[in-house]
Amino acid sequence: MADLLNIGLSGLAANKTSLAVTGHNIVNVNTPGFSRQETIQSTRTPQFSGAGYIGSGTTLTDVRRIYNEFLNTQVRSSTALNSDTKAYLSQINQLDSLLAGSTTGITPGLQKLFSALQTAAEDPANIPARQLALSEAEGLAKRFNTVYDRLYEQNAFINKQLSAVTDQVNQLATSIAGYNDAIAIAASNGQAPNDLLDAREEAVRKLSEFVGVTVVPQDDSSYNLFIGSGQPLVVGKQAARLEVVPGQADPLRQEIQFVSGNSRQNVSSLITGGEMGGLLRYREDVLDTSLNAVGRLALSVTDQINRQLGQGLDLNGEFGNNLFRSINDPLLLSQRSLARIGNSDANANLNVTLTDTTQLTTSDYEVQFTSATEYVVRRLSDGTQFPASPATFDITTVPAPEVDGFSLGVASGTFAAGDRFQVMPTRNAGRDIRADMKNAEELAFAAPLKAETSPANIGTGKITQPKLLTEINIYDPAAQADLETSLRNAPPLRIVMGAGGGATQSYDVVDINGNVIDTGSIVPGQDNALTISVPANPPAVPAAFDYQVTISGRPSGGDNFSVSFNTNGVSDNRNALNLVNLQNKSVIGINPAAPNTTGSSFSDSYGDLVERVGTLTSQARVDGEATGAILKQATDNRDSISGVNLDEEAAKLIQFEQYYQASAQIIQVARNLFDTLINTF
């Protein structure tokens, strides 16, 4: 009787536990990360009798967690990848809408400005048309300012979001370390604490939403977690932490530091996956490049228009002033350089002077001093060093050596070997562009020289209006003043034709006193380009200059043409037409080291940026759909093994209930037999 009773009791105990485990599965069907559990039974040690071994019932050996490490690893990695893509996509969608929008993009502003210049060029004395050109220039500058502001708002958002994400990472890392400790203690009796394991697994999955992690299981059932290139975020019950701090190279760009004990390491460039990885990837690959591309375009527009205006005369007969703020405004030079924290002189900084906007790139640069005066420049986009090692530049050299369209000078302080600076020639130009000209009469639409045909000429010869070959350098005030004075004061020159009738015809260039300063010949009946050099004659003509005219037709002997300063040229639109032609002129991204590169125009350069961002946005959308599908598939695969199926659990509930009742019936039979036996005696 006792044997039968013990067998029934063992069944009751086993099935009671199975019912409890099944109930636990059912009520946790919606618990995130829960893995269903099942009981594992085995027979007790049988008893030997004369008839052989007789079973003594059942016993529970384990409550097993249905878990697949491979599938859970897939869920973690897919979660990190999907969160990375979603964070990246949310930012680049905003940028794509900003750059390509008709109300916020740069292209409509460029088109309106050049359309207004074209209208003004058709009637250069028309003040309302000139005023419209000034208004459109101001509108274009504000478009650049708006785009810059929106981009830097994104940068500020990324900084704040990195701080929020870092807090979440630190909380989860601490939580996981606590789970490791609790699991190691609970598992010391040889049995797995299933619910703690599930809770830790869910915490690791949540952590993967914020940053990509590598999980390494340990013998004591704890997890070690690593980020970046192997930085240990969690080891056993100890958790390191991440901190967001102002960047050493650029305080406006937060960087991520890995803090373990007293050591710190910048891991911004090492982190991948999760929301943090997506934000850092967007900032590095898209935002910084877009800021620099917009800034380069702003500098090119400013430089080219200001330069061209400087070659002409306004309605008052004065040489042209800047339409936009000068690209080398003294207030801007030192703002293009940022000293790295920890340099020998905290007050030392560099001036960055732009020398040729056609050669500017969209890269930032790092300047490293190898001594108190010698330095090298490294282009961060591709690592190219200037000058090539082992040569160096000297900060005291005059004129300063040029690198990609800019040069460096001392703004303040002193330098020492090891000092580093981040140079950003184009980064803030979208913020700095400003339309300064307020008086429409100051738009220099006329050319400084004019050619006239003598009314006494009897031949069919014609002369074009002169084209000034010597550029007025608006960035060198002394040279600018000398050349403007020379153009204004240079006495008129006459081109006097010699006797015709042959295959060639001679000419003399004579000054106002009849002195011959140059001679040459033309071929009658075709276009003949003549380059005239006017020598310096201080003090009235402090600088020499050259210009070009074209003589066509068949001049007669003695015919002459005169070239002089364009006084009262209010109806002259030659410089205005040159301004209009800037719209399609290739003036951006010209690489002198690669003669086959032709550069691009304003519109093409901006179009390239919009196209690049649009392509990356489209790719990110595809990636978002793909990673979402991969995550869903990985989650479904995991749930197919570890998830709770209510129908299955309900069937088990009935099954174990029946087992429990059957075990109880065994006990009832044993009791009846015992009662029968007692009654017999």
DSSP per residue, 495-549: EEE---SSS-EEEEEE-TTS-EEEEEEE-TTS-EEEEEEEPPBTTTB-S-EEEEE
Distances (CA, A) of 22 to 34, 307, 362, 655: 13, 82, 63, 11
Note the helical H segments in 310-413: 330-333
Comparison of pLDDT for 282 and 103, the residue scoring more: 282
Residue 2 has pLDDT above 60, yes or no: no
The percentage of the chain sitting over the pLDDT mark of 70, rounded to a whole number, equals 99
Query: Residue 177 class from Cβ within 10 Å (0-12 exposed, 13-18 middle, 19+ buried)?
Result: buried
- Selection from 540, 568, 548, 563 nearest residue 484 by Cα: 540
Structure-derived torsion over alpha carbons of residues 117, 121, 127, 133, reported in degrees to the nearest 10: 0
The per-residue DSSP string of 238-269 comes to EE-EEEEEE-SS-TTSEEEEEEETTEEEE-TT
| Of 459, 454, 574, 449, the residue nearest 522 (C-alpha) | 459
Using CA atoms, how far residue 497 sits from 454, 458, 558, 653, 668, in Å, is: 12, 11, 5, 117, 139
Q: What angle do CA 623, 625, 626 make, to 5 degrees?
A: 60
The two three-digit tokens of residue 34, written as one number: 């829960």
User: How far apart, in whole angstroms, are the C-alpha atoms of residue 282 and residue 426?
Assistant: 19
Comparing 614 with 678, which gets the higher pLDDT? Answer: 614
Q: Tell me the sheet residues that pair with 264.
A: 259
Length, in residues, of the chain: 681
Q: Under a CB-based contact definition with an 8 Å cutoff, are residues 662 and 11 in contact?
A: yes
Distance CA 221, CA 681 (A): 59
Of the candidates 630, 638, 467, 636, the one whose C-alpha atom is nearest the C-alpha of residue 548 is 467
Q: Which phi and psi (to 5°) does residue 463 adopt?
A: -130, 140
DSSP character string of 51-66: TEEE---EEEEEEEE-
pLDDT of res. 455: 94
Which whole number is the average pLDDT over 106-111? 95
Least confident of 37-46, 365-374, 391-400, 404-413: 37-46
The pLDDT of residue 622: 96
The yes-or-no verdict on residue 439 having pLDDT over 90 is yes
> On the CB side of 648, how many CA atoms lie within 13 Å of its CA?
11
- Could you tell me whether strands 37-43 and 47-49 are parallel, antiparallel, or unpaired per DSSP bridges? unpaired
Q: Which residues contact 569 (CB under 8 A, 6 or more apart)?
A: 313, 317, 446, 447, 450
The Cα 663–Cα 13 span in angstroms is: 9
Residue 309 has φ and ψ, to the nearest 5°, of -60, -30
List residues bridging with 352 in a β-sheet. Answer: 408
Question: How large is the average pLDDT for residues 194-200?
Answer: 92
CB 543 within 8 A of CB 536: yes
Asked whether the beta carbons of 136 and 301 are under 8 A apart, the reply is no
Residue 568 confidence class, pLDDT cut points 50, 70, 90: confident
Lowest pLDDT segment from 219-223, 357-361, 525-529: 219-223
| 49 pLDDT higher than 80 | no
Cα 391 to its chain centre, rounded Å, is 31
pLDDT in tens, 299-332: 999 999 999 999 999 999 999 999 999 999 999 9
Number of H helices, E strands in the chain: 13, 29
Instruction: Write down the pLDDT at residue 60.
Output: 87
- Phi, psi (deg, nearest 5) at residue 68: -125, 110
Please report, for residues 83, 314, 451, the alpha-carbon distance to residue 349 in angstroms, rounded to integers and kept in the order given.
40, 39, 50
Percentages of the chain per state (helix, strand, coil), in multiples of 5: 45, 20, 35
pTM of the model: 0.89
Q: Angle, to 10 degrees, between the axis of helix 127-186 and the axis of helix 274-282?
A: 150
Tell me which residue of 187, 475, 153 sits closest to 307, measured CA to CA. 475
The amino acid occupying position 253 is: R
Q: How far apart are CA 103 and CA 114, in angstroms?
A: 17
Q: What is the mean pLDDT of residues 389-408?
A: 94
Residues 274 and 78: their CA atoms lie apart, in Å, by 10
Helices in 354-502 by DSSP H: which ranges? 429-432, 477-489
- pLDDT confidence band for 596 (50 / 70 / 90): low
Neighbours of 388 (CB within 10 A): 8
261: tokens are 């004990």
Side chain identity, residue 473: N
DSSP single-letter state for residue 311: T
Kindly state the average pLDDT of the residues 523-533.
94
Q: What percent of the chain has pLDDT over 90?
A: 77
How many Cα neighbours within 13 Å face the side chain of 74?
17
Residue 454, both tokens: 């003598």
Least confident residue range of 214-228, 245-259, 479-493, 663-677:
663-677
d(CA 615, CA 626): 16
For range 571-584, the mean pLDDT: 95
Residue 657: pLDDT band (50, 70, 90) is confident
Query: Given this model, what pLDDT does residue 365 score?
Result: 96
Q: What's the CA gap between 552 and 521, in Å, rounded?
A: 12
Please report the pLDDT score of residue 1 as a whole number: 52
- Domain spans of the chain, in order of start: 1-66+645-680, 71-285+602-635, 337-426, 449-565
pLDDT value at position 404? 94
Strand partners, 444: none
Average pLDDT of the segment spanning 658-676: 85
Query: Among 54-63, 116-125, 532-541, 620-629, whose mean pLDDT is lowest?
Result: 54-63
Maximum Cα interatomic distance, the chain, rounded to a whole number of Å:
163
Single-letter code of the amino acid located at 152: Y
Would you place residue 595 in the very low, low, confident or very high pLDDT band (cuts 50, 70, 90)? low
Strands 263-266 and 47-49: unpaired
Q: Which residues contact 668 (CB under 8 A, 6 or more apart)?
A: none
